[in-house]
Each structure stands twice: as C-alpha cells, then as structure tokens.
A and B are shown apart, each in its own frame.
Chain A
Amino acid sequence: DIQMTQSPSSLSASIGDRVTITCRASQYIDTYLNWYQQEPGKAPKVLIYAASSLQSGVPSRFSGSGSGTEFTLTISSLQAEDFATYYCQQSYTTPLTFGPGTKVEIK
C-alpha cells in the first residue's frame, strides 16, 4: 500500500493568514493526489484534484501543487469557514489511501 503522511498534524492560525499543508507519498504517484476538507459531523468535500486542479465551486484561495511524492495545499487567506480538517488522498493505485489529516484551528 502507498502510505500518505501529512504535516503538520494540526496548526493554529488567524483569519487572513496564509496556511500551507504538506502531504508526502511513500512512493511515486505522479499527480494522482486529491485534497479534501472535512467539517465535524459532515462528509469530506473535495477541494483540489489531480494535485492542482480546483474543484468547481471551491474558492480560489485554495490551491495545490506538487508531483511525484511531495505535495502542498495552500490557503492564501484563511477565512472563518476554513477551520476544519484537511486530508490528502492518492488515487494512483488501489487501495486508495488517505493521509492522517491536518486540523486547522483558530488561534
């Protein structure tokens, strides 16, 4: 199985801050990397697919980059509704695997 890791596991930030989350794959996955946002008690929502493509309807303050084994999700200016947990997921091969998550909290 491809193991996904994320850093940090949690962070505290203020409204308006720039936030970057890193995701690493245990082996090469090209750009088969997706990012999700999950609010408590809700299903995850895809933000970025194929490493850098913005899902329709997702605000442009979210962006993704990377290829191979290292990827980043950036929120350019954190908004109140962005406080949530973020997961990366590889879709290069089955079993599909997710990172452990990064919880973004209010400072």
Chain B
Amino acid sequence: QVQLQQSGPGLVKTSQTLSLTCSVSGGSTSSAAYYWNWIRQHPGKGLEWLGRIYFSGATNYNPSLKSRVAISLDTSKNQFSLKLTSVTAADTAVYFCARDRAGGLDAWGQGTLVTVSS
C-alpha cells in the first residue's frame, strides 16, 4: 500500500520560497505508471492543481502560477518536492502531494497547512 508523507515548514515569510517534500513508501517514483502531483486548497475553498512530474523528469505546471512553481524528483530518495517562489498571503493554503495513475489521484499525502506571513 503506497503512502505519501509530506514534510516542510508551516510558516513562510512573504516574498520567500515555499518548499515542501513528499516521501513515497510502498511504491516507486521511478515507475513509468505514475505522475507525482502537487495540489493546494485555500482555506474553505476548492482544489487547485499546481503541477506534476513524471519519472523521466518531465513536468507540467499550472499556467496560473506562471514561473513561480517548480517540481523536482529524487528517485534515489524516492521523493519529490515543490518550490513556490515569491509567496504572498494568497499562497496560504493546505498543500497536498498526490499520485496520479492516469485513473485519478489515488494516493494523497496528509496535507500541510502553509501560512505566509510577514
């Protein structure tokens, strides 16, 4: 049974970089069967897809975030990471990592509330 465990700070200062890591157990980030995604949810709101990475390193990002988002993969550690630069209060949200097996996002991390404050 695959498990995704998120880590990273819950408080980030305005204009700095938000960094989160998702560690995968019970499955391999080297598998060609999956994409590895980041999604966020503003307080009391719906779900927003941020981007994903494939085992090859190929990425897709949400254009709404322009060039602020970057997702990387470390197959040796079986983990993937999110970096969001130049954060503002509008980036305060619960961030989730999730696995996509081309049939839905079938495994999720526990979620990390990240608050952006000066």
Contacts and interface: CB of A to CB of B under 8 A. Distances in A.
Interface size class of B (residues with CB under 8 A): 20 to 34
Contacts of A99: 46
Given A44-B105, A89-B47, 7 more contacts: A43-B108, A43-B109, A44-B108, A49-B106, A50-B104, A91-B100, A94-B62
A97 B103 contact: no
A22 interface: no
Interface string B34-67: 0001000000001111001000000011111000
Interface of A: 1, 34, 36, 42-46, 48-50, 53, 55, 87, 89, 91, 94-101
A96 B110 contact: no
Contacts of A53: 103
Q: Is the interface of A mostly helix, strand, loop or mixed?
A: loop
B96 interface: yes
Interface in B56-115: 60-64, 96, 98, 100, 102-106, 108-111
